[in-house]
Structure 1
């Protein structure tokens, strides 16, 4: 009996010691929790959940916070765990029973799209006007125009429009420019291929942006590579333009051969209403800048005249013909070295993109993809 009595005393003492140890440990872990975010599963809480206020993550974090309170509350009797766990089991059972009724009301795709749109808007707001450009023109005086119908070669790259749009929206937000997208199918005319529709799209950009002094047309296969570069200090400011113009440069025919015409050295910068570049094959219309003026509006009307549409296969060949044949029109056009506004994915120092160039144009890569590995 004495041995059994001793065993009982030892057992009672052991249970008392364990209970005391648990009771004393509660405030320690509560203090620890205030220093280390804890999710109750033995790992720290993802910091991203605290920074990005996404609805789904916020609910999850709130649920985890509730678990922490029930685990560390010193008012809970740790010596009687059954009382603490039974309500949890009933609560979880209730959640299981309620789930089938709530499921039909859930629409996961719409909130996801809405969250993406809100995140996108938040990003653009965050970088809006951060460039703080000094030279004129700046801000909404510049419009970057993207126009497509989603067909042709542009359709060969999956999600191309989404990628290009994000690239250009970011650039415009940073410099406080206006970004505009136009579906050129609204300008379709019988017998005219889609590339001609860029001309009425440019006219429309001026119409719906009354504050715009310049419209920058960019083809779909162009990516802005140096988003810190503003257009005024690149070429649009007249003091800068004076250094950028390619004086006495020969103008090429659309087949790349010399036309016998050169850019005049006596360029009146105040009359420059169009800025463009040439590649190895002549004038390229993938990146062009137009200034708001009576000359620009008259020229755009002339360019898309049925006489030229019927005679030339595309707008670029017509443009080359017009600029070579009409001196008075050339006086309003500023030719710049190709890499200033239209560097290609490949090529030598005069044509191929180099670090610091504002953009890369994947011209011709649709026909020879391996030639433009970049």
Structure 2
């Protein structure tokens, strides 16, 4: 029985065998061409898309108005004549710096008055109104340059001084800033940064004998300000039983959040936060920017403190 031999393989394969590889080559070339075309289209898109599209753009306020003075009033606890006297002080100071003396694009100072009871604090102490009033003021004046919070028990005493020049000017801050100093004296291991420059500062605050003071402070408007206020007003801090409520919460976040400490300028108390009595801090002297009626807790007590200064500030305002 004979078996057929299998066909011999030729050493010269027919042309169609070589042609069988061409479709694969075409596919690879097409992939390269397609990838190059896609890359070209992406490049065209990147070059022609609107500026800033797809990127976060920080908010830069126009600076109109330059300063908003914020005060939160407790109308349920203090009498109207006393509070009206405080409001009048703010309004007259703002008028000295342009409010009501120009058209719609006025670059004068503005005032914002918050009220205890206007905001839902979710059971937190009423003093937290101070913080939420500042947040509210930023929504009313989104293009302001600075927010100056000043306690309801205080007068502005020197109308010649301005926030821009006396407090927030970079060169002025260089001279004022207290560096490498405990945030909560005397024992806090967290200290103010020693390397900061005046242009780095977005939050200016003072200390008294009890620690950090929230009676009078200045915030530079911008993205950081909104972050800072949202952090400070966090529901967790409001629900925590801090002895001094929002002031101790402020001390907490300054010590535990380097992002806050890196924008903080600690300045001498006399800069914008002197007291009517010297038992808790620096006592007021002639020419100081402000006076705080520290220690008063009723209309009778606070009005008695205010009467020591009301004629003085009215006289100063009339003479300028």
Which of 134, 141, 157 does residue 225 from structure 1 map onto? 157
Asked if structure 2 preserves the Cα contact closer than 8 Å seen for 1:267 and 1:331, the reply is: yes
Residue in 2 aligned with 1:165?
87
Once the two structures are TM-superposed, the CA of residue 257 in structure 1 deviates from its matched residue by 4.4
**Residue 283 (structure 1) aligned with residue 212 (structure 2):** yes
Gaps of 5+ in 1: 1-136
2:258 to 303, 321, 327: 327
Contact 2:201 2:265 in 1 (8 A): yes
Q: Which contiguous aligned blocks of 4+ residues in structure 1 show a shift greater than 6 angstroms?
A: 370-373
Alignment partner, residue 72 of structure 2: 147
- Please name the residue that 1:85 is paired with: none
Name the count of aligned residue pairs: 232
Residue in 1 that maps onto 2:271: 340
Displacement of 1:169 after TM fit? 0.6
TM-score (norm 2): 0.66
Q: Which residue of 2 aligns with 1:89?
A: none
Q: CA deviation at 1:141?
A: 1.2
Question: Any gaps of 5 or more consecutive residues in structure 2?
Answer: 1-61, 99-108, 309-320
Contact in 2 for aligned 1:139/1:175 (Cα 8 Å): no
Matched, 1:244 2:173: no
Q: Does the residue aligned with 2:134 lie in a helix, a strand or coil? A: helix
TM-score (norm 1): 0.57
| Deviation (angstroms), 1:149 | 3.5
Choose the corresponding residue for 2:282, options 344, 351, 355.
351
| 1:1-374 pair list within 5 angstroms | 140-152=65-77, 155=78, 159-176=81-98, 177-252=109-184, 257-313=186-242, 314-347=245-278, 351-366=282-297, 374=308
Q: Root-mean-square deviation (CA), in Å?
A: 2.6
More helix by share: 1
Which protein has greater RCO, CA pairs closer than 8 Å, 6+ apart? Answer: 2
- The alpha-carbon deviation at position 222 of structure 1 amounts to 0.6
| Alignment partners' CA distance in 2, 1:163 and 1:348 | 25
* Structure 1 residue matching 2:111: 3-state secondary structure: strand
Using the alignment, how far apart are the partners of 1:366 and 1:348 within structure 2? 16
